[in-house]
Structure 1
Amino acid sequence: MNGDYVVGGVFSIHFSIHTAIHNYTSKPEPPQCTGSVDARELRFSRAMIFAIEEINNSTELLPGIRLGYQIHDSCGSVPVAVHVAFQLSNGLEPAFHPGESCSRSGMVMGVVGESGSTPSISISRIIGPFNIPQISHFATCACLSDKQQYPTFFRTVPSDQFQAVALAKLVKHFGWTWIGAVRIKRVADIIRSSTAVGIVAFTSGGDMKVLLEELARDPPLPRQWIGSEAWVTDPNLLRFGFCAGAIGFGIQKSVIPGLRDFLLDLSLSEVAASPLLTEFWEDAFNCKLRKHAAVGENVCDGTEDIKKLQSPYTDTSQLRITNMVYKAVYAIAHAIHNVVCQKTNSTFQCDKHSKLDSKQVLHELKKVNFSKNGYDVSFDANGDPVAFYELVNWQISDKGVNELVTVGYYDASLPKGQEFRINRNLSWVEGSEKVMKTA
């Protein structure tokens, strides 16, 4: 969508790319995403659009200014992420006209994303020299706090540095002395044969999915899983029943008023206008839009009810990382506002013709400090937020399936020894319950 100032977005809406064999006799085709749409990542991208539309309708933040967006799918791939980064840095027009004067920079004012740390590193190395700020909602590698290497990188999600310390304190808190730590390939057989009852899995959701699928072939004896945020709050993994009782850290659960209605407000014409939404819709409802349907195939006719769809896209009961996307968009908007808007009496006057440079946005981002929906947003000198986690537990529901339950929290800003608060019973491995006292 066009706007007075444009914000970039990068998400892993697909998780793999088509592997092409190049014969070097013709120009290689651009990389193509493969696999099904990740409905959760689609929700992240739609949340970015929701936030921008909300800002565009605001009379307090950037009044009279229209933000645009350019959102890309990186396929969770470094080569695609690099390609996207160059596109966002190089300008937003498909062609350059030397006879025309430019009223403002062609590059985006900031980038929201990427979801993973490795693609985020690649993006940051390219857009950093152009002074384009990047705010990730889900890249947690501690390495990204190094401002010598990543001077324009910020994030709304806490660094793994805090989570690693928190996990170690969690293990110590419960007095566990013999645990395994999952970090390597081919660990399924090791887990099956190990005498360790507790297993710390500090890994990505994608890697954990592969491991759990392998373990599901021949489930091991019950283990107490201790998980990092990337997988322990992933709704796609709750189906692995043998992990019941898992405990770990999650980003704070949040509420974004109006988002659910926005996500569900999809007409068939709007779906048809977007290849991505078309792919999601056809997969979700097992039908084909009329323009794609072959003879005899089930045709989508508009009677499909997205409100009844059981999908991570429609599930807004556990908004965690989605709120990190929402906050990232608002942080960029506040930074732009602080450059182009002046307060006159009690109202703001904004100049949409101001020649805004991304370096100015970068400078203002370092100073933003605001609250939205009751959640504070600010960054320290390393571009990191204050580390606050919920302690979450996989508990068996009345329906006999795993559900995510918040049982306490960890606040890194509190004095040493007071970071943990556990306020609900935990379900442990094999469903046993025990009331745990705080240390």
Structure 2
Amino acid sequence: MIAPRGLFLYNSMPCTNKWPEQGRALLQLLFLVASFSQAFGTVCSQRGDPDKPQLSKEGDIMLGGIFSFHSSWKDREETYTHKPLPLECISLNFREFQFAQALLFTIEEINNSTELLPGISLGYKMYDTCGSIVKSVKAVLALINGNEVVSASEGPCTKPAQVQAIIGETSSSLCLAAATVIGPFHVPLISHFATCACLSDKSKYPSFLRTIPSDYYQSRALAQLVKHFGWTWVGAIRSNNDYGNNGMATFTETAQQLGICLEYSVAFFRTDPPNKIQKIIEIIKRSTSKVIVAFLHFPDMDVLIYKLSEHNMTGYQWVGSEGWIIDSQISEMDKYHILDGAIGLSIPKAHVRGMREFILDVKSLNTLDDKMFAEFWETLFNCKFKSSKTTEHSQRECTGLEDLSGLQHRNTDMSLMPIFNNVYKGVYAVAHALHRIFDCNETCDTNVQLHPFMILQHIRNVHFMTKEVDEVYFNEDGDPPAKYEIINWQPTENGVVDFVTVGLYDASLSEDKQLNLQNKTLTWAQSSTQVPVSVCSGTCSPGTRKVLQKGKPVCCYDCIKCAEGEISNVTDSVSCVQCPPEFWSNNRRNVCVKKEAEFLSYEEMMGALLTAASLCGTCLTAVVAFIFFTYRKTPIVRANNSELSFLLLFSLTLCFLCSLTFMGRPSEWSCMLRHTAFGITFVLCMSCVLGKTVVVLMAFRASLPGSNVMKWFGPTQQRLSVLVFTLIQVVICVLWLTISPPFPFKNLKVVKDRIILECALGSAVGFWAVLGYIGFLSLLCFVLAFLARKLPDNFNEAKFITFSMLIFCAVWLTFIPAYVSSPGKFSVAVEIFAILASSFGLLLCIFIPKCYIMLLRPEKNTKKNIMGKVPTKNF
């Protein structure tokens, strides 16, 4: 190999900051090597045997091509005792021959065109790399160097690069190596099938362009496709090269963002030992996921599908990359229909007029070197030439005139026409750039000196339409716009797989519109029409939340019901939302419903009973009042101060009736009325009882010799005392209502699932002042009555007042803890019960004994019997 002539083209050009540092350093190093060689009489010395192109044709402008006409090579163990032999390529790859034919077709079409590059012919040199990185680098250097020996007499190596642009390689790994080598020289390298996103890095690969979208978009599209069908638990297999590893890395990153988990992710290469591929098959068998994302190059998929067929591993839903999803050769190998129903992305379908016929006319490859042409022809038509040393008697002899018409062979398969179109667009991009450089109109200015950097810049800026109305341009990364078709494998009745387009993906649209599935019936694994399910854990229905299982991926979780007062109204919620204060969760925990308002109403059983008791007490009080009014002139009524008795009965009636104000929905007026009415009526009642008690004590004192106390507590004083005691309570209530009155209040804390409608006290001081005043009067009544309980009357009313006060105090003392501990409407019921109990206690203890005598024992209703042994005045 000789030193690159293309290198020294740049020595005549001024160095600018546009040149990468590594490029300038490499140029300087090679210049020093060339100078050193010149001292020995040779400017450029050749090392090793020169590589000859497998296909070539001279032209005014030369294009290069690198293709893997063979997919593998023979392994040899080197002994290091002699010079290693060149790689011996094996396994013809007919796909690559088709790519080469697409290149030939495009060049021929441009040469025959009068509109593009008129008067300029394009030539080509194509090399076979047989899938080897070493041979790819060697082929690239051969294309830009040339193989001629240059002597010292010819001067320095200042000839331009042998080719102006290179089309290829198919594999991303091979392109990485080739682009790294020619990047410093800025010779354009345009790939039709290298999709690794890493090649978009212009700092590393400044001269690389491609006519196929970057895998960055394909990987994201595959993740969105998986998410679209609800598959959150998937397995992944990738080619162990730059294409598979980089593509799967982007897919994994996007999948995590979309909530998709990978149960396993394994890599292999087609040359791996069988035991490694067997381990991958065992991993698939043990897995629980039913969806497999295969980011594989088609040679690797060939090997994998063969191994899977040996194990009859059906029932898995395959999601494929464009590397194999539309390859009919793989579908032909799938004898057990393992891949039936596969879905994936492919380059949009294309049709280039005349290309199919050109490819089928294999005579266009007659410029192949003799050895490769013979190998190609013999393999294609299953025959042998006479000159072949391995001719078998069972094989027919090749004539060289065989025709592909009616022959079913891989070379007749046109399923890769979209990739052929990529080759077509790549060559046309170079032609359009040259057209602009030469300023072509009817003729071209061929005096323009070509520089690779100039050609590269013009290729980056091309923007044209092909004759098939394909728009061709490159972005700042040298990539075309990312558009894919969504392909579904649908087997037909004759066993052939039909690649049906079921949707589109366009990365230029907004994220919510990029994936567009058409309304078509899809076929899934094992020809099912139902979308497969592949999840680690089932869907969490609304009303539950996801709780991760310890030590497992985020897609493996348990569904826990939301707590009371919390809801989740979406599927697979990760958290529950607290309901607003006035709302509560329903039983299914998926809707917040308005809390039921709770208050003591007349309609419910407890309210009806208390209402009945209140009305019963009112009626009973009225009956007693009627009896007293009827017997108002009898001694027993007159002896007990009939005026205070009737006032007490009236106040008891009000006590019974005020309990009704505690029932029903609280309002501003009812809240103010219930507490003030209760406080005033009970003070009026206690004032009357207190007056009757004092009258009893005064009457006893008046009966003693020389006592004249009754004149100090006569009827006027009795009425005045009742009025004063009552007015004090009225003043307290007025102050309470003025400063901070009770008001209706929604209590949301006592009971979580209900709203307690109650009356807030407003001022707690006012409330306890009202109750305290009632308690003070009742305690005073009790003490006075207790002191008069043993007075020597035959009918001593103080005894009954004492007993009634005991009941009253006992009721209200037990009321306090019962009221505090009772929730909701029960606290109101306790308060009503206390009012009714104390009212009944007063009514029954003070008035029923008198009614008993008046109605049933009239003989005791006499003055003599009332007076007994104690001589008293008529009170």
Decide: shared fold, TM above 0.5: yes
What CA distance in whole angstroms lies between the structure 2 residues aligned with 1:256 and 1:125? 32
Corresponding residue for residue 515 of structure 2: 420
Displacement of 1:60? 0.9
Displacement of 1:194? 1.6
Give the match's secondary structure for 2:384: coil
Q: Deviations over 1:236-288 (max 9, x none)?
A: 21131211000000011110111122122244993886543332221122111
Displacement of 1:232? 1.1
Letter in 2 for 1:123: A
Stretches of structure 1 that go unaligned for 5 or more consecutive residues are none
Instruction: Confirm whether residue 202 of structure 1 aligns to residue 257 of structure 2.
Output: no
Picking from 283, 286, 295, the partner of 1:193 is: 286
| 1:320-331 to 2 correspondences below 5 Å | 320-331=418-429
Displacement of 1:55? 0.6
| 1:173-192 to 2 correspondences below 5 Å | 173-183=228-238, 184=266, 185=268, 186-192=279-285
Corresponding residue for residue 405 of structure 1: 500
Corresponding residue for residue 351 of structure 1: 445
Structure 1 193/308 Cα, relative in aligned 2: closer, same or farther at 3 Å? same
- The answer to which of 326-335 and 265-274 deviates more is 265-274
Corresponding residue for residue 96 of structure 1: 150
Instruction: Confirm whether residue 257 of structure 1 aligns to residue 313 of structure 2.
Output: no
- The answer to which of 288-297 and 147-156 deviates more is 288-297
Give the match's secondary structure for 1:320: helix
Stretches of structure 2 that go unaligned for 5 or more consecutive residues are 1-56, 239-265, 269-278, 533-875
Q: Deviations over 1:371-409 (max 9, x none)?
A: 111111111000011000010011101212323221121
Displacement of 1:18? 2.5
Letter in 2 for 1:207: D
Instruction: Confirm whether residue 211 of structure 1 aligns to residue 265 of structure 2.
Output: no
What CA distance in whole angstroms lies between the structure 1 residues aligned with 2:63 and 2:401? 35
Give the match's secondary structure for 1:307: coil
Q: Is the 8 A contact 1:254 1:318 kept in 2?
A: no
What CA distance in whole angstroms lies between the structure 2 residues aligned with 1:269 and 1:187? 40
Corresponding residue for residue 171 of structure 1: 226
What CA distance in whole angstroms lies between the structure 2 residues aligned with 1:303 and 1:57? 26
Give the match's secondary structure for 1:210: helix
What CA distance in whole angstroms lies between the structure 1 residues aligned with 2:132 and 2:364? 30
Structure 1 10/251 Cα, relative in aligned 2: closer, same or farther at 3 Å? same
What CA distance in whole angstroms lies between the structure 1 residues aligned with 2:526 and 2:66? 40
Displacement of 1:367? 0.2
What CA distance in whole angstroms lies between the structure 2 residues aligned with 1:30 and 1:417? 53
| 1:343-382 to 2 correspondences below 5 Å | 347-372=441-466, 373-382=468-477
Q: Is the 8 A contact 1:62 1:337 kept in 2?
A: yes
Picking from 54, 67, 76, the partner of 1:11 is: 67
Displacement of 1:110? 0.7
Structure 1 46/221 Cα, relative in aligned 2: closer, same or farther at 3 Å? closer
Letter in 1 for 2:292: I
Structure 1 125/407 Cα, relative in aligned 2: closer, same or farther at 3 Å? same
Picking from 220, 223, 242, the partner of 2:338 is: 242
- The answer to which of 267-276 and 23-32 deviates more is 267-276
| 1:2-401 to 2 correspondences below 5 Å | 2-35=58-91, 37-91=92-146, 93-96=147-150, 99=153, 105-183=160-238, 184=266, 185=268, 186-239=279-332, 240=334, 241-267=337-363, 270=366, 274-292=370-388, 294=391, 296=393, 297-302=395-400, 304-342=402-440, 347-372=441-466, 373-401=468-496
What CA distance in whole angstroms lies between the structure 1 residues aligned with 2:452 and 2:368? 34
Of structures 1 and 2, the one with the larger relative CO (CA 8 A, separation 6+) is 1
Q: Is the 8 A contact 1:113 1:120 kept in 2?
A: yes
Displacement of 1:235? 1.8
What CA distance in whole angstroms lies between the structure 2 residues aligned with 1:363 and 1:384? 14
Q: Is the 8 A contact 1:271 1:281 kept in 2?
A: no
What CA distance in whole angstroms lies between the structure 2 residues aligned with 1:303 and 1:62? 34
Give the match's secondary structure for 1:34: strand
Q: Is the 8 A contact 1:39 1:311 kept in 2?
A: no
Higher strand fraction: Structure 1 or Structure 2? Answer: 1
Q: Deviations over 1:277-305 (max 9, x none)?
A: 33222112211123326474521125633
Corresponding residue for residue 764 of structure 2: none
Give the match's secondary structure for 2:417: coil
Q: Is the 8 A contact 1:392 1:406 kept in 2?
A: yes
Letter in 2 for 1:425: T
Displacement of 1:227? 0.6
Q: Deviations over 1:192-250 (max 9, x none)?
A: 22221111111222222222221111122411100111011222211312110000000
- The answer to which of 96-105 and 155-164 deviates more is 96-105
Q: Is the 8 A contact 1:247 1:391 kept in 2?
A: yes
Higher helix fraction: Structure 1 or Structure 2? Answer: 2
Structure 1 20/397 Cα, relative in aligned 2: closer, same or farther at 3 Å? same
Displacement of 1:52? 0.5
Displacement of 1:131? 1.0
Give the match's secondary structure for 1:321: helix
Structure 1 143/108 Cα, relative in aligned 2: closer, same or farther at 3 Å? same
Structure 1 416/147 Cα, relative in aligned 2: closer, same or farther at 3 Å? same
Structure 1 385/256 Cα, relative in aligned 2: closer, same or farther at 3 Å? same
What CA distance in whole angstroms lies between the structure 2 residues aligned with 1:109 and 1:78? 22
TM-score w.r.t. length of structure 2? 0.47
Give the match's secondary structure for 1:154: strand
Q: Deviations over 1:410-433 (max 9, x none)?
A: 111112211122223211111123
Letter in 2 for 1:403: D
What CA distance in whole angstroms lies between the structure 2 residues aligned with 1:276 and 1:326? 24
- The answer to which of 186-195 and 269-278 deviates more is 269-278
Letter in 2 for 1:340: F
Q: Is the 8 A contact 2:327 2:415 kept in 1?
A: no
Q: Is the 8 A contact 2:102 2:423 kept in 1?
A: yes
Q: Is the 8 A contact 2:328 2:413 kept in 1?
A: no
TM-score w.r.t. length of structure 1? 0.92
